[in-house]
C-alpha cells in the first residue's frame, strides 16, 4: 500500500488514493466490529432475557465510551500525533470481540463493549488525520471515501444478524477478532507513511494544516461566530444521531411487532437504510466539493425530514423503498459535517473530527437509553412516531455561516 511512489508523493497536493482506500478499509473493519454489538441485540435479548432498557444501556456503553474519548484523543494527538496508537486501538477492539463472544451475563457484555468502544475512540481521530494528509485538494471526496468504509461496516449489522448470529448465536462474535487482526496488518503498512508525513511537515503541523485547508472564509470568522456554528453543528448531530439510534437499535423490534416479521425479515429495512447511507455519504462528499459544505448539510436534513416522518405509518410494501431513500439523503450530510467542522477549526483536525464523530456516538448513546426508556413507558409505536420528528431540528443548519465555496459563488 505505502509504496515508494506513494511515499514520494507524501507532501504534494495530489490525492493519495492508496492510503485513502487503506484507511477506509480499516474504518470498515472498525465499524463492523461496532456493528457486531448492534447485530447481537435480538440474540442477547432472548438468550440473556434483556429488557429494552438494558439493550439501550449496551448501546449507551458502546457509544459513550467512544464519544467521551474521541475529543480527548483528538486534542492530545493534535499536540503530539501518535501513529502507533492506530494498531493499539485495534488491539483493544480485538479483546472486546473475544469477550463479547463468551460473556455470560449483562455486566460482562458491558465490559466487552467498553474495549470495543475504546478501540474505536482511539482509531477515529488518528484515522481522520491520515485522511487529511492524503486528501490533497479534494477534502470532501477524501472524507467521503473514509466515511464510506465506516458506513459499509455499520450497514453489515443486519446481515450479520441474519447469516451469523441467528444460526450461531452469541459465540459467532468471535469472528470479529479476524477483523481486528486484519486491520492491524493493514495499519502496519499505513503507519510508516503516516509517520513520514509528520516528519515532513515537522512540528508546525497546525500551520501546515491550516494552509492546506484553504478555508479562507472560515478562518476569518470571529470566535463568537465559530462558537455559534459549532453549537448548530452539535444540534444537527443530536437530531441525526438520536434518530439513527432509534432506527438501528429499535426499528427491528418495531417492525417485528407492527408487521409480524421474523427476526431475519426485520433486518431488511435497516440494511436498506444503512446501505443507502453508504451511497449517500459518497455522493454528499462529491457534491459538497461542488456546491459547498453548508448547502449540502442543509439539503440533507431538509429532504430527509418528510421521509422520516412518514416511515412509521407506511404499509409493509412501502417501508423498503422509503427506508432506502431516507438513508441515502440523511447520510449524505454526515462526512460533510466533519469537513465543515475541520474548516471551522483549522489546524485542529483531530479535535474537530473527534468532536463531531465522537459527539455523534455520544448523542446516539444517550438517545438509545432515552428511546429505550420511552419504548418501555409509551410503547414502541409511540416512541418511533415521536422520534421521527427529530430530523426537523437539523433544519437549523440554515443558520450556519457560508463556507469558502459559497463565499466564492
Q: What is the 3-state secondary structure (H, E, C) of 310-326?
A: HHHHCCHHHHHHHHHHH
Residue pLDDT, tens place only, 327-338: 999 989 887 888
Q: Dihedral sign, CA of 60, 329, 219, 206?
A: positive
**Three-point CA angle 2, 4, 10, nearest 5°:** 70
pLDDT in tens, 303-342: 999 999 999 999 999 999 999 999 999 989 887 888 888 7
Alpha-carbon gap, residue 339 to 146, rounded angstroms: 12
List CB contacts of 89: < 8 A, sequence separation 6 or more. Answer: 30, 118, 119, 120, 121, 122, 123, 126
- List the grid coordinates of 338: 466533519
Burial of residue 224 (CB within 10 Å: 0-12, 13-18, 19+) is exposed
Lowest mean pLDDT among 214-218, 229-233, 310-314: 214-218
pLDDT at 208 over 70: no
**Whether the predicted pLDDT of 206 surpasses 70:** no
Residue 218: its pLDDT value, please?
A: 42
> For residues 208 and 377, which has the higher predicted lDDT (pLDDT)?
377
In this prediction, what percent of the chain has a pLDDT beyond 70?
87
Q: What is the pLDDT of residue 128?
A: 82
User: Three-class SS of residue 50?
Assistant: coil
- Around Cβ 342, how many Cβ atoms within 10 Å? 28
> In whole angstroms, what is the distance from residue 84 CA to residue 80 CA?
12
Q: Alpha carbon of 316 to those of 265, 292, 319, 321, 385: distances in Å?
A: 11, 37, 6, 10, 16
DSSP state for residue 165 in the 8-state scheme: I
Q: Which domains does the chain have, with CATH numbers?
A: 15-203 (1.20.1250.20), 221-408 (1.20.1250.20)
For residue 289, which of 61, 136, 109, 79 has the smallest C-alpha distance? 136
Cell readout for 351 is 479535535
pLDDT at 102 over 60: yes
Amino acid at each position: 500500500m505505502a509504496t515508494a511512489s506513494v511515499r514520494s508523493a507524501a507532501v504534494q497536493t495530489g490525492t493519495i488514493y492508496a492510503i485513502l482506500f487503506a484507511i477506509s478499509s480499516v474504518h470498515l473493519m472498525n465499524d463492523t466490529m461496532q456493528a457486531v454489538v448492534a447485530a447481537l441485540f435480538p440474540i442477547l435479548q432472548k438468550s440473556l432475557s434483556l429488557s429494552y432498557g438494558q439493550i439501550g444501556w449496551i448501546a449507551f456503553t458502546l457509544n459513550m465510551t467512544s464519544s467521551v474519548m474521541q475529543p480527548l484523543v483528538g486534542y492530545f494527538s493534535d499536540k503530539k500525533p501518535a501513529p502507533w496508537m492506530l494498531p493499539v486501538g485495534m488491539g483493544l477492539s480485538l479483546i472486546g470481540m473475544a469477550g463479547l463472544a463468551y460473556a455470560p451475563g449483562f455486566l460482562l457484555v458491558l465490559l466487552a463493549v467498553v474495549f470495543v468502544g475504546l478501540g474505536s475512540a482511539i482509531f477515529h481521530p488518528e484515522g481522520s488525520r491520515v485522511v487529511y494528509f492524503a486528501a490533497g485538494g479534494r477534502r470532501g471526496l477524501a472524507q467521503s471515501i473514509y466515511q464510506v468504509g465506516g458506513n459499509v461496516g455499520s450497514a453489515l449489522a443486519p446481515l450479520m444478524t441474519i447469516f451469523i448470529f441467528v444460526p450461531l448465536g452469541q459465540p459467532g462474535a468471535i469472528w470479529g477478532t479476524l477483523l481486528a487482526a486484519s486491520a492491524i496488518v493493514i495499519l502496519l503498512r499505513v503507519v510508516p507513511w503516516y509517520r513520514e508525513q509528520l516528519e515532513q511537515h515537522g512540528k508546525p503541523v497546525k500551520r501546515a494544516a491550516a494552509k492546506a485547508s484553504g478555508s479562507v472564509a472560515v478562518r476569518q470568522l470571529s470566535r463568537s461566530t465559530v462558537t455559534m456554528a459549532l453549537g448548530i453543528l452539535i444540534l444537527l448531530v443530536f437530531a441525526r444521531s438520536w434518530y439513527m439510534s432509534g432506527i438501528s437499535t429499535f426499528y427491528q423490534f418495531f417492525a417485528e411487532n407492527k408487521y409480524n416479521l421474523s427476526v431475519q425479515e426485520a433486518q431488511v429495512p435497516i440494511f436498506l437504510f444503512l446501505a443507502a447511507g453508504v451511497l449517500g455519504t459518497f455522493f454528499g462528499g462529491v457534491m459538497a466539493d461542488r456546491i459547498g459544505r453548508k448547502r449540502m448539510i442543509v439539503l440533507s436534513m431538509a429532504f430527509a425530514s418528510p421521509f422520516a416522518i412518514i416511515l412509521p405509518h407506511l404499509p409493509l410494501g412501502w417501508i423498503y423503498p422509503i427506508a432506502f431513500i431516507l438513508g441515502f439523503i440523511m447520510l449524505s450530510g454526515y462526512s460533510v459535517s466533519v469537513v465543515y467542522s475541520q474548516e471551522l477549526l483549522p489546524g485542529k483536525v483531530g479535535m474537530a473530527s473527534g468532536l463531531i464523530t465522537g459527539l455523534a456516538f455520544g448523542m446516539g448513546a444517550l438517545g438509545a437509553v432515552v428511546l429505550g426508556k420511552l419504548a418501555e413507558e409509551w410503547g414502541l409505536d409511540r416512541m418511533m412516531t415521536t422520534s421521527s420528528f427529530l430530523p426537523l431540528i437539523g433544519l437549523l443548519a440554515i443558520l450556519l455561516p457560508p463556507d469558502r465555496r459559497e463565499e466564492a459563488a
